[in-house]
């Protein structure tokens, strides 16, 4: 029985070399759809400098920063998804890698999924009643009260302009600005803050004038004051002895002569 020989090339009489097909691995699964992956980055692309998000802080803050950066650079929806992925790190990156392949087709789905997963890291949203505890101190400047009020009000997204106006005027001390708001109420909260700016300038100008008025008198009083020396203890009293000439005994006492005067009788001395 003859063994079959490999086919030979009819032209050159040589057996052809069989090439092995390269081993191809299946494509890596990515949560993005093919439309998002095919979109090209714009020319001169630079990643937004908003920091990374690892899942430990409020996701709303990070999304707000990213939204402002995407508006500035005018990214397309597909590019926004890939750029936002570049801002994730730590546990947030692991969460994205665990999503099913092709599950994200637009940025709205990406945003909703991230907010749902990191809901425990969101800040506690205050309600309107938290604003009614704000009061201006008796000697607190108007600028300081407005700054503190705005810091608390930004954590209450449900507060309307009417609520902010009511709460703000309720916490004011009875001064010129409070009486002005009673005489002529503001139309909205922004208009109320604009009117408060003139009273802030007047208040700070009056404070600077009082400070300049009292400062010279205080310096003059300090200059006219005579420095006092510290009190010294009184000297000890010494025993005073009489002076005796040399040769006289200091222990002997001088004798005084007695004078005998006649006593008066019944008919005179």
Residue-wise pLDDT tens digits, 110-126: 999 999 999 888 776 67
**Nearest-angstrom CA–CA distance, 266 and 14:** 195
The domain containing residue 157 runs over which residues? 128-217
**How far is CA 154 from its chain centroid?**
14
CATH of the domain at 179: 1.10.1200
Burial class from Cβ neighbours inside 10 Å (0-12, 13-18, 19+) for residue 59 reads buried
Q: Is residue 249 part of a domain?
A: no
Q: Is residue 1 part of a domain?
A: no
Residue 25's pLDDT band, with cuts at 50, 70 and 90, is: very low
Higher pLDDT, 84 or 130: 84
Give the position of tokens 């009788």.
265
Say whether 80 sits in a helix, a strand or coil: helix
Q: What is the mean pLDDT of the chain?
A: 79
165, 114: one domain: no
* Gyration radius of the chain's alpha carbons: 50
134, 59: one domain: no
165, 107: one domain: no
pLDDT higher than threshold 60 for residue 60: yes
pLDDT higher than threshold 50 for residue 24: no
Residue 42's pLDDT band, with cuts at 50, 70 and 90, is: confident
Q: Is residue 188 part of a domain?
A: yes
Residue-wise pLDDT tens digits, 155-207: 887 888 898 999 999 999 988 899 999 999 999 999 999 999 989 998 888 88
Q: Is residue 23 part of a domain?
A: no
107, 149: one domain: no
């Amino acid at each position: 029985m003859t063994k079959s020989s490999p086919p030979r090339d009819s032209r050159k009489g040589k057996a052809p070399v069989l090439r092995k097909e390269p081993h191809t691995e299946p494509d890596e699964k990515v949560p993005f759809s093919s439309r998002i992956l095919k979109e090209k980055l714009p020319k001169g692309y630079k990643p937004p400098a908003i920091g990374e998000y690892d899942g430990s802080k409020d996701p709303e803050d990070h999304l707000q920063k990213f939204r402002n950066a995407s508006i500035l650079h005018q990214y397309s929806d597909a590019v926004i998804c890939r750029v936002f992925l570049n801002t994730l790190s730590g546990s947030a990156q692991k969460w994205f890698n665990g999503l099913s392949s092709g599950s994200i087709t637009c940025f709205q789905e990406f945003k909703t999924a991230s907010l749902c997963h990191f809901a425990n890291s969101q800040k506690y949203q205050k309600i309107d009643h938290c604003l009614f505890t704000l009061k201006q101190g008796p000697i607190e400047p108007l600028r300081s009260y407005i700054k503190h009020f705005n810091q608390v009000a930004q954590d209450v997204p449900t507060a309307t302009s009417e609520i902010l106006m009511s709460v703000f005027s309720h916490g004011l001390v009875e001064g010129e600005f409070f009486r002005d708001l009673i005489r002529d109420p503001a139309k909205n909260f922004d208009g109320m803050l604009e009117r408060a700016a003139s009273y802030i300038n007047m208040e700070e100008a009056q404070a600077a004038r009082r400070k300049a008025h009292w400062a010279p008198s205080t310096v003059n009083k300090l200059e006219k004051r005579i420095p006092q020396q510290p009190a010294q203890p009184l000297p000890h009293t010494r025993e005073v002895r009489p002076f005796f000439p040399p040769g006289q005994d200091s222990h002997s006492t001088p004798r005084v002569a007695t004078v005998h005067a006649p006593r008066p009788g019944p008919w005179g001395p």
